Chains A and B, each alone.
Chain A
């Protein structure tokens, strides 16, 4: 038997390829906002991201290009967005426990830095595809909280006219295709949207969010290979919280999301998903590569759910994760971390939270006062065919 055909040689060959595509940490060579010195607190920017974003075609915008005060203002805008997302989720959970919101709510509490950081770098033509844990992505993509609450409440004025609910918030005018309750399906759809950009020759990116559980879905693995081969302008953002529903991910896989994506040909980067500044910096650099036509990129953001997978109606899940694990991640809460990095006084943070809660309370009250859809609306929006 020829030794050349023995398994170890084959393994070595594949490892060489693996190293060529190695997972790399941008943090090693990109200055990060959290390393910027703190300073005075600037004016809070509440403007939805899409109203004031920079041109999609600007070259790599690292934090190094910002002056100290600009960096602080930017850090504060990320912090403000995170605080608003958390306030939205806490209000949504409260409405669910009061029986106002029916069905399932998947709160993104703990994941806020990823939504805030990635969406901070969206260009005017970029599209966002989300999954069922979509409230944070929606808010950070510029959706109005009142219309989001109205959807959660099944009101006619909801972003989906009450036909989608919490898992499917979508607003085309904000380029937010929205949530998907089939794990991994949105990734295939996002790839098609990215292909559309290629076909039309439009310089833009499609950003698709996913959980790490989606890495087990065949459609995601199939799509990664297509995205690599067709050099699609696609940024996949994997919110790796280590759990799929109430099952620890290590019970079902030994591979990290980034390793799988890299192995299928999509260059991958791992980032601290609880550091909004780092997420924004790296997502910005990756989006520049994607828009420049360099092909798809995969960002694995490690994070953790502060609360739980899902509030289903009045049913709040009991503890299902190891206590010490929950505690360790609590100490790394993305909002508290941003506050520390920016050296924001506790009173200022409290004020931000109070304002955000007030904003969400007003939005929720507005939505609660909205009318429910006319029952006959159930028949509409199916197709333009005679049906």
Chain B
């Protein structure tokens, strides 16, 4: 069992109020926790997420596994209008301790409708924790935190991070705090701030840069909401040069938000910070086209070198 499912199993054993909703259920989990708690639902995300809000309003702790983030779009009302409004709208009478898991993209060639990274859209919703772990280990740690959090959390997991996750030895999963970015790799020449799968690509880019004698720090944002502006500003100021890497398209992106916050905080000079976002097109099917659209280790390396040299790359 990988770390993420270890965290889930631990929470299910500890907390009898935890209920897991999904359209497909692991037989092992159903066997251990029973079909009432490991609840098989029809392909009806709108109803499923409202259902989860009801479970939460009644005092239980639902986890909704939406499978793909793509399916979140049919369930936006329960997330935007119900789960994240109930506490406020009732003057604090109800809380909604709901965790939603949703897988983003990883170049699996599932086409324009299946591969999405919609965390910036959700970062606009007040009070919603939006976690985008940069590794399988962080996915487990952030999920463990979510499973004790009294308000809604969405975790966007890149499928490749889970697919390549090693077996976990069963040790308890350390909870990772929300709103704290993490320096994944130290460095002195520039700071690469990355989100989700882009963290892995940035680490690979940092290895390539090291071969050229460039020392790149890599920072995992971990939660895009709340955003750790203080931590990111410290990491930015440490090198004075910042590349923000985001698999989402640029307009109103988390990368744009980070850039704006770091510049207004005077953590970095405007000429010393750049963004690398996806091209503003849907995720294409052909792997060749995908490489053109999304940041990868090579494009990150290229941008980093250009930024350090003061050149522009198109």
A residues contacting B by CB (< 8 A) are 127, 129, 158-164, 168, 170-172, 177-178, 180, 182, 185, 187-200, 206, 218-219, 222-223, 225-226, 229-230, 380-387
Taking CB as reference atom, which chain A residue is nearest B41? Answer: A226
User: Do B46 and A222 touch across chains, with their CB atoms under 8 A apart?
Assistant: yes
Chain B residue contacts of A195, Cβ below 8 A:
19, 39, 51, 54-55
Kindly state whether residue B261 has any CB partner on chain A within 8 Å. no
A153 to B278, CA, bound (A): 48
Query: Chain A nearest CB: distance from B5 CB in Å?
Result: 21
A188 to B150, CA, bound (A): 21
Cross-interface CB contact of A182 among B77, B90, B126, B150, cutoff 8 Å: B77
Taking CB as reference atom, which chain B residue is nearest A226? Answer: B47
Chain B residue contacts of A206, Cβ below 8 A:
54
User: Do B89 and A163 touch across chains, with their CB atoms under 8 A apart?
Assistant: yes
User: Do B93 and A192 touch across chains, with their CB atoms under 8 A apart?
Assistant: no
- Known: A177-B94, A226-B41. Is A382-B87 also a contact (CB below 8 A)? yes
Which residue of A127, A198, A382 has the most chain B CB atoms within 10 A of its CB atom?
Answer: A382
Query: Chain A nearest CB: distance from B86 CB in Å?
Result: 8
Taking CB as reference atom, which chain B residue is nearest A181? Answer: B81
The stretch that binds A, out of B56-64, B159-167, B202-210, B279-287, is B56-64
Query: Chain B nearest CB: distance from A236 CB in Å?
Result: 13
A168 to B129, CA, bound (A): 24
User: Do A225 and B44 touch across chains, with their CB atoms under 8 A apart?
Assistant: yes
Chain B residue contacts of A187, Cβ below 8 A:
50
Chain B residue contacts of A170, Cβ below 8 A:
89-90, 93-94
A164 to B81, CA, bound (A): 12
Query: Chain A nearest CB: distance from B127 CB in Å?
Result: 4
Cross-interface CB contact of A385 among B19, B93, B226, cutoff 8 Å: B226
Taking CB as reference atom, which chain B residue is nearest A373? Answer: B91
User: Do B60 and A196 touch across chains, with their CB atoms under 8 A apart?
Assistant: yes
User: Do A191 and B92 touch across chains, with their CB atoms under 8 A apart?
Assistant: no
User: Do B82 and A185 touch across chains, with their CB atoms under 8 A apart?
Assistant: yes
User: Do B57 and A189 touch across chains, with their CB atoms under 8 A apart?
Assistant: yes
User: Do B42 and A222 touch across chains, with their CB atoms under 8 A apart?
Assistant: yes
Cross-interface CB contact of B36 among A158, A188, A198, cutoff 8 Å: A198
Chain B residue contacts of A191, Cβ below 8 A:
47, 50-51, 54
Interface residue ranges of B129-170 to A (CB < 8 Å): 129, 149-151
Cross-interface CB contact of A387 among B36, B81, B126, cutoff 8 Å: B126
Kindly state whether residue B295 has any CB partner on chain A within 8 Å. no
Taking CB as reference atom, which chain B residue is nearest A199? Answer: B36
User: Do B51 and A160 touch across chains, with their CB atoms under 8 A apart?
Assistant: no
- Known: A192-B57, A222-B42. Is A185-B90 also a contact (CB below 8 A)? no
Cross-interface CB contact of A163 among B37, B91, B127, cutoff 8 Å: B91
A190 to B82, CA, bound (A): 12
User: Do B42 and A185 touch across chains, with their CB atoms under 8 A apart?
Assistant: no
Query: Chain B nearest CB: distance from A130 CB in Å?
Result: 13
A-B contact list, 6 entries, CB within 8 Å: A185-B81, A191-B51, A223-B47, A385-B127, A385-B149, A385-B178
User: Do B91 and A161 touch across chains, with their CB atoms under 8 A apart?
Assistant: yes
B residues contacting A by CB (< 8 A) are 19, 36-37, 39, 41-42, 44, 46-47, 49-60, 62, 77-78, 81-82, 87-95, 126-127, 129, 149-151, 178-179, 226
Chain B residue contacts of A387, Cβ below 8 A:
126-127, 226
Query: Chain A nearest CB: distance from B35 CB in Å?
Result: 10
- Known: A222-B46, A223-B47. Is A182-B81 also a contact (CB below 8 A)? yes
A82 to B58, CA, bound (A): 29
A229 to B47, CA, bound (A): 14
Query: Chain B nearest CB: distance from A371 CB in Å?
Result: 15
Which residue of B37, B46, B77, B149 has the most chain A CB atoms within 10 A of its CB atom?
Answer: B46
Chain B residue contacts of A194, Cβ below 8 A:
54
- Known: A193-B57, A223-B47. Is A386-B150 also a contact (CB below 8 A)? no
A195 to B91, CA, bound (A): 25
| A-B contacts besides A180-B82, A385-B178, 13 pairs, CB < 8 Å | A161-B92, A164-B90, A172-B93, A182-B81, A188-B46, A189-B50, A189-B82, A193-B57, A206-B54, A222-B42, A382-B126, A382-B127, A384-B95
Chain B residue contacts of A219, Cβ below 8 A:
46-47, 50, 77-78
Query: Chain B nearest CB: distance from A140 CB in Å?
Result: 19
Chain B residue contacts of A188, Cβ below 8 A:
46-47, 49-51, 53-54, 78
User: Do B46 and A218 touch across chains, with their CB atoms under 8 A apart?
Assistant: yes
Taking CB as reference atom, which chain A residue is nearest B94? Answer: A172
Query: Chain B nearest CB: distance from A104 CB in Å?
Result: 15
User: Do A189 and B127 touch across chains, with their CB atoms under 8 A apart?
Assistant: no
A269 to B83, CA, bound (A): 32
Chain B residue contacts of A218, Cβ below 8 A:
46
Cross-interface CB contact of B89 among A160, A172, A196, A198, cutoff 8 Å: A160
Chain B residue contacts of A160, Cβ below 8 A:
89-91, 93
User: Do A192 and B50 touch across chains, with their CB atoms under 8 A apart?
Assistant: yes
Cross-interface CB contact of B42 among A162, A192, A226, cutoff 8 Å: A226
Which residue of A162, A163, A192 has the most chain B CB atoms within 10 A of its CB atom?
Answer: A192
Query: Chain B nearest CB: distance from A247 CB in Å?
Result: 21
- Known: A225-B42, A385-B149. Is A189-B90 also a contact (CB below 8 A)? no
Chain B residue contacts of A193, Cβ below 8 A:
54-55, 57-58
Taking CB as reference atom, which chain A residue is nearest B59? Answer: A196
A172 to B57, CA, bound (A): 9
